[in-house]
Structure 1
Amino acid sequence: MFDCRLQRLKRATLHAIIFLMLPLSLSAGANEAEIPDNVTQLRQLAQLAEYIGVDYAEAVKNGQVINDNEFQEMVEFSQLIVSKSSLAATADAESLAVQAKALQRAIHDKKGVDEIRQMSASLRGTLLGLMPHLSLPERILPQEKIRPVFETNCGSCHGVSGQGDGVLAAQLDPAPTDFTNKERALNRSILGLYDAITNGIDDTAMPAFQQLTEQERWSLAFYVGGLAFQSSEPTHNDLNITKQQLINYNPLQLAAERPEITLQSIESLRANPSTLFKAPQDPLAITWDRLQAAQKAHQKGDFSTASELAVSAYLDGFELIENSLDAHDKTLRQSIESNMMALRQLTSRPDVNGELGALMAETRHLLDDAQRLLSESTLSEGTLFTASLVILLREGLEALLVIIALTTVLIRTGRRDALKYVH
Structure 2
Amino acid sequence: MLVLLPAVARADTTSVQTTWRLLDYVAVDYGGAVHDGRVISQAEYAEMLEFTDSAAANIAALPPKGARAQLVADAKRLKAAVVAKESPREVARQARSVAAALLNAYPVPLAPARSPDLARGATLYGQNCASCHGMSGDGRGPDAARLDPPPIAFSDAARARERSVFGLYQVIEQGLDGTAMQSFADLPAADRWALAFYSGRFAFRDTTQGERIWQSDAGVRRLVPDMPTLTAMTPAALGAKIGQPEADAVMAYLRANPQAVTGSGAGSLALARERLEQSFAAYAAGKRQQAGELALSAYLDGFEPLEPLLASRDGALMARIETAMGAVRAAIQKGAPVAEVRHEISALDTLFTDAEQVLAPEQASSTSAFVGALTILLREGLEALLVVIAIVAFLRKAERPEALRYVHAGWVAALAAGGLTWALATYAIGVSGASRELTEGFGSLLAAVILLSVGIWMHGKSQSLIRN
Superposition TM-score tier, normalisation by shorter sequence:
0.5 to 0.7
Of the three residues 375, 380, 388, the one matched with 2:442 is 380
Larger RCO: 1 or 2 (CA < 8 Å, sep 6+): 1
- Distance, in Å, in 2 between the alignment partners of 1:191 and 1:386 is 54
Aligned to 1:142: 118
Residue 249 (str. 1) matches residue 233 (str. 2): yes
The code of the aligned residue for 2:116 comes to: I
C-alpha deviation, 1:51, in angstroms: 0.5
- Distance, in Å, in 2 between the alignment partners of 1:76 and 1:264 is 34
Change (3 A) 1:65 1:211: same
C-alpha deviation, 1:251, in angstroms: 1.5
Count residues in correspondence.
280
- Distance, in Å, in 1 between the alignment partners of 2:173 and 2:67 is 27
Aligned to 2:251: 270
C-alpha deviation, 1:235, in angstroms: 3.0
Following TM superposition, the consecutive aligned residue runs of length 4 or more in structure 1 with deviations greater than 6 angstroms are 20-24, 386-389
- Distance, in Å, in 2 between the alignment partners of 1:75 and 1:116 is 12
- Distance, in Å, in 1 between the alignment partners of 2:79 and 2:209 is 40
The code of the aligned residue for 1:157 comes to: C
- Distance, in Å, in 2 between the alignment partners of 1:243 and 1:235 is 17
Tell me the SS of whatever aligns to 2:149: coil
- Distance, in Å, in 1 between the alignment partners of 2:185 and 2:239 is 32
C-alpha deviation, 1:280, in angstroms: 6.3
- Distance, in Å, in 1 between the alignment partners of 2:138 and 2:180 is 16
- Distance, in Å, in 1 between the alignment partners of 2:51 and 2:443 is 68
**CA contact under 8 A between 1:103 and 1:120: conserved in structure 2?**
yes
Tell me the SS of whatever aligns to 1:118: helix
CA-to-aligned-CA distance 1:58-88 (integer Å, 9 cap, x gap): 1111111111111111111011011111111
Of the three residues 270, 281, 287, the one matched with 2:264 is 281
The code of the aligned residue for 1:48 comes to: L
**CA contact under 8 A between 1:245 and 1:254: conserved in structure 2?**
no
Of the three residues 149, 153, 161, the one matched with 1:186 is 161
Residue 58 (str. 1) matches residue 24 (str. 2): no
What pairs with 1:210-229 in structure 2 (closer than 5 Å)? 210-229=185-204
Of the three residues 147, 150, 165, the one matched with 1:175 is 150
**CA contact under 8 A between 1:229 and 1:271: conserved in structure 2?**
yes
The code of the aligned residue for 1:142 comes to: L
C-alpha deviation, 1:23, in angstroms: 7.8
- Distance, in Å, in 2 between the alignment partners of 1:102 and 1:283 is 46
What pairs with 1:10-409 in structure 2 (closer than 5 Å)? 36-89=10-63, 90-132=65-107, 134=109, 136-137=111-112, 138-143=114-119, 145-236=120-211, 237-238=214-215, 239-240=220-221, 241=224, 242-256=226-240, 259=241, 261-272=242-253, 273-277=255-259, 281-282=264-265, 371-372=433-434, 374-375=436-437, 378-380=440-442, 384-385=446-447
The code of the aligned residue for 1:277 comes to: Q
Higher helix share: 2
CA-to-aligned-CA distance 1:300-349 (integer Å, 9 cap, x gap): xxxxxxxxxxxxxxxxx9xxx9xxxxxxxxxxxxxxxxxxxxxxxxxxxx
CA-to-aligned-CA distance 1:175-213 (integer Å, 9 cap, x gap): 110000011000001111001001111121110112322
CA-to-aligned-CA distance 1:96-152 (integer Å, 9 cap, x gap): 111111111111111111111111111111112123363632021134x42232122
Tell me the SS of whatever aligns to 1:267: helix
**CA contact under 8 A between 1:162 and 1:179: conserved in structure 2?**
yes
What RMSD in Å do the two structures reach over aligned CA positions? 3.5
The code of the aligned residue for 2:252 comes to: A
- Distance, in Å, in 2 between the alignment partners of 1:87 and 1:21 is 22
Higher mean C-alpha displacement, 232-241 vs 75-84? 232-241
- Distance, in Å, in 2 between the alignment partners of 1:246 and 1:280 is 13
Change (3 A) 1:382 1:44: same
- Distance, in Å, in 2 between the alignment partners of 1:158 and 1:386 is 63
Tell me the SS of whatever aligns to 1:207: coil
C-alpha deviation, 1:383, in angstroms: 6.3
| TM-score where L is the length of structure 1 | 0.59
**CA contact under 8 A between 1:57 and 1:113: conserved in structure 2?**
yes
- Of the two, which has the highest radius of gyration? 2
C-alpha deviation, 1:21, in angstroms: 12
**CA contact under 8 A between 1:63 and 1:111: conserved in structure 2?**
yes
Q: Which runs of 5+ in 2 are unaligned?
A: 279-296, 302-431, 452-468
Task: Quote the sequence identity (%).
Answer: 29
**CA contact under 8 A between 2:110 and 2:232: conserved in structure 1?**
no
- Distance, in Å, in 2 between the alignment partners of 1:34 and 1:263 is 41
Change (3 A) 1:384 1:149: farther
The code of the aligned residue for 2:165 comes to: I
The code of the aligned residue for 1:165 comes to: R
The code of the aligned residue for 1:276 comes to: P
**CA contact under 8 A between 1:234 and 1:271: conserved in structure 2?**
no
- Distance, in Å, in 1 between the alignment partners of 2:156 and 2:129 is 17
| TM-score where L is the length of structure 2 | 0.53
- Distance, in Å, in 2 between the alignment partners of 1:191 and 1:388 is 56
Higher mean C-alpha displacement, 69-78 vs 263-272? 263-272
- Distance, in Å, in 2 between the alignment partners of 1:22 and 1:71 is 39
- Distance, in Å, in 1 between the alignment partners of 2:450 and 2:202 is 51
- Distance, in Å, in 1 between the alignment partners of 2:30 and 2:449 is 65
